[in-house]
Amino acid sequence: MTRQTPEELASAIKEEARRLGFELVGISSVADPLHEASFADWLRQGYAGEMAYLTRTEEARRHPGSWLPWARSVVSVAMNYYTPFPRETAPRGTPRGWISRYAWGDDYHTVLERRLDSLLTWIRGEVGGIVQGRVYVDTGPVLERGFSGRAGIGWIGKNTHLISPKQGSWFFLGELFLSLSLPRDRSIKDRCGSCDLCLKACPTTAFIGPRRLDARRCISYLTIELKGSIPVELRPLMGDHVFGCDVCQDVCPYNAKAKPSKEPAFHARDGLHAPELIPLLSLTDEEFRARFKGSAIRRPKRRGFLRNVAVALGNLGSVESIPALVRALSDPDPLIRGHAAWALGRIGTEDAFAALAEANRHEQDPDAKAEIEQALMGEEAEAIVDSPSDGDPEGRDESRHP
Ligand code: B12
C-alpha cells in the first residue's frame, strides 16, 4: 500500500521502528552531520590515538552525501541497553572486575542491525516501489551522534554522549539511509547547563573540555581499542575496569531515573556482571572465544582482555591473585606476561618479587623483560625504605598499592 503523503509515511515508519523495539526515532537529511568540522579538528589533534579507521574514513564521515548520492533521508534510532545492577550488589570477597554495561548482553551491532534490516523490508513493502536503503550500527563511516542529534533524538552532552531528556544516554544508536524524501525532525537544545559532573568524574581525566575527549586516556579506548601496552602512568587510574567504562554516564543526572531495557538480548549474561577475575586470567584462546561468543567483549581478543584483567588485579592488590599472576608470567603472549609482571610488582609481596626475579632469568621478549625489570625496581625501592639508615620508617613508595 502506498501512503498518501510523506508526513504519513514518516509517522508510520516511526511507529514501526518503535514496534521493533527502538524507543527513540528521528529523521534528518543527508547533509553533513553536526559538528563534522570539530571531528576533523579532533583527528588533527591526535585524540583518536591508534583508531586509524577514523582517519582513513574522515572524508566519508564528514560528507556522507559524497558516497551515498542516492540517499535523501536518514532515519536515526536509539535502543535502551540499561540493566540495573548497581556496583554495590556485586558479591564481595574474591577479586572482581567491572565490565561496561553495554557489553553485558549480546553484541549490539547484530541486534540493532537486524531490527533496522526489518524496518527497511517493512518500508519497501509499505511503499511498493524501489526504495534504496543502507543500515549502519557503528559498522560504517557515519558520525552517528551528529545525525541522531540533528534528528532530535537528544543533544550532544559534555561527556560526548547523545543524551535524551527523557531516556538519558544508556542507548545505542543506528541509522537507516533511505532514497525517500521524508519530512525532517527538529534538533533539540543542549540541556547540560552548568553541570560538569562527568568532566570531573573521569578516572583518567580524559576530557580536555566539554564535548572533547582525548580517547588515548579514555578507559574505554585503553581496554577495547588499544592493541598494545597500556601506558604505565594510566594503569593505576583504571581501577577494576576490564572492558569499557561507564563512569561519565553513571554520574549524569539525566541517567538517574533510567528505566531498564525491555530487550532480552541486552540482559546480563551469566558471569558478566562484576566477573571473578582470577579464573579469567587462565582462559585459553578457545575458552575465551567460546565464553564470549556473540558478545562485544571479543573485540580486544584474548590478549587485550587478559592484559586488562592483569591490570585490574594489580590495582585490586589482592594476594589471592598472586598464583594466577605468577602463572601468567609464562603465558605464550608477551603482552600478558608484561602486564602480569606489572601487577605483581604493584602487589609487591615477597612471593611476588621472587616470582618476578625467576621470570627475569628466562624472559626473552624485550618488552616483557622491561616490564619485569621495572616491577623489580619496586622491590629495590622498598628495600631502601626498609633500611634503618633511611631514617623514615613511614616512607612509602607512592606508586605501590597500600
Ligand atoms: C570511536 C568511538 C569511540 C571512541 C571515542 C569516543 C569519543 N567520544 O570520541 C572510544 C573507544 C573512546 C569510545 C568509547 C565509548 N563509546 Co563509542 N563510538 C565510537 C564511534 C565508532 C565513532 C565516534 C567518533 O567519531 N568519535 C569522534 C568524536 C569527535 O565524535 P563523536 O563522539 O561522534 O562526537 C561528536 C561531538 O563530540 C561533536 N562535537 C565536537 N565538538 C563539539 C562542540 C560542540 C559545541 C558540540 C555541541 C558538539 C561537538 O562532534 C562529534 C561529531 O558529531 C561511534 C559510532 C559511530 N560510528 O559514530 C561509537 C559510539 C559513539 N560509542 C558509543 C558508546 C556506547 C561508547 C561507550 C559508552 C562504550 C563503553 N561503555 O565503554 C564509550 C563512551 C566514552 C565516551 N565518553 O564517548 C555509542 C554512543 C551512544 C550515545 N548515546 O551517545 C556510539 C554512537 C556507538 C553506537 N552505535 O551506539 N567510542
CB distance 47 to ligand 1 below 6 Å: no
Backbone φ and ψ of 300, nearest 5°: -75, 0
- Which of 138, 159, 261, 308 maximizes ligand 1 atoms within 8 Å of its Cβ, making it the mutation to test the pocket? 138
Ligand 1: which residue has its CA nearest to atom 75?
220
Number of other residues whose CB lies within 10 A of the CB of residue 6: 14
142 CB near ligand 1 (under 6 Å): yes
pLDDT at residue 400, as a whole number: 30
Segments in the chain below pLDDT 50: 388-402
| Atom number of ligand 1 nearest to Cα 140 | 57
Which secondary-structure segment (H or E) carries 19? helix 6-19
What's residue 382's pLDDT? 65
pLDDT of the residue at 314: 98
- CA atoms within 13 A of residue 391's CA, in its CB half-sphere: 1
Model pLDDT, residue 173:
98
**Which three cell numbers, joined as nine digits, stand for 5?**
503523503
Q: Is the CB of 146 under 6 A from ligand 1?
A: yes
For 187, the grid coordinates are 534538533
Q: DSSP state, 96?
A: B
Residue 83, classed as helix, strand or coil, is coil
pLDDT at 399: 33
**What is the C-alpha to C-alpha distance for residues 180 and 127, in angstroms, rounded to an integer?**
10
Provide the pLDDT for residue 232: 98
Q: Determine how many CB atoms are found less than 10 A away from the CB of residue 92.
A: 7
Distance CA 329, CA 42 (A): 38
Summarised one tens digit per residue, pLDDT across range 270-327 is 889 899 999 999 999 999 999 999 999 999 999 999 999 999 999 999 999 999 999 9
pLDDT at 238: 98
For residue 4, give every residue at least 6 positions away whose Cβ sits within 8 Å of its Cβ, in sequence order, or none: none
Distance 160 CA to ligand 1 centre (A): 6
* Residue the block writes with cell 579538528: 41
CA 72/CA 154 separation, integer angstroms: 21
Give the global pTM: 0.94
Nearest atom, ligand 1, residue 102 CA: 71
Q: Give SS3 for 235.
A: helix
Measure 67 CA to ligand 1 centroid, in angstroms.
22
Alpha-carbon distance 199 to 27, whole Å? 30
Rounded distance between C-alpha atoms, residue 291 and residue 294, angstroms: 9
- Residue 84's pLDDT is what? 84
Other CB atoms within 10 A of residue 125 CB: 10
* Residue appearing with cell numbers 543526572: 253
Confirm or reject: Cβ of 221 under 6 Å from ligand 1: yes
Give the model's pLDDT for residue 37.
92
Question: From the CA atom positions of the chain, what is the Rg in Å?
Answer: 24
Distance from the CA of 146 to the center of ligand 1, in angstroms? 9
What is the position in ligand 1's atom list of the atom closest to the CA of 139?
A: 57
Count CB atoms within 10 A of the CB of residue 197.
Answer: 14
For 141, half-sphere exposure in the C-beta direction (CA atoms, 13 angstrom radius) is 20
Beta carbon of 137 within 6 Å of any ligand 1 atom:
yes
Q: Residue 28: what residue type?
A: S
What is the helix, strand, coil percentage profile of the chain, to 5? 45, 10, 40
All three cell numbers of 317, joined, read 592488590
Residues labelled catalytic: 138
**Ligand 1 within 6 A of CB of 150:** no
Nine-digit cell string for 325: 599472576
CA 282 to centroid of ligand 1, rounded, Å:
33
The pLDDT assigned to 76 comes to 98
Ligand 1 atom closest to the CA of 61, numbered from 1: 25
